[in-house]
Amino acid sequence: MYLCGELKHLETMKVTNDYLSLKDFNAWSGAKDTKETIINEGKVDEFDALIEELYPDGIDETHLNDLLWFEEDWLFEMLGIETDED
């Protein structure tokens, strides 16, 4: 809110979607493959529980997508998913 041309109060807002399940998340780019692997390995419930534990206040879509895209190895390790590289 601006009052008399001065910045009196600036409030930041975190946009967080209600995360229901990985199955309902519309991943994009490199996160799509990670999502599909987790689903195909039957680890959706474990993934959902991990996200709820790590982000009790919620997680925005971009952060979730980045986690799936760039932290694939860590997620697979946490979920007990073996890859060809293991």
Contacts (Cβ under 8 Å, ≥6 apart) of 63? none
Domain ranges (residues) in the chain: 26-86
DSSP 3-state of 3: strand
d(CA 74, CA 67): 9
pLDDT, position 66: 97
With a threshold of 0.75, does the pTM exceed it?
yes
Residue-wise pLDDT tens digits, 36-71: 999 999 999 999 999 999 999 889 999 999 999 999
pLDDT, position 9: 44
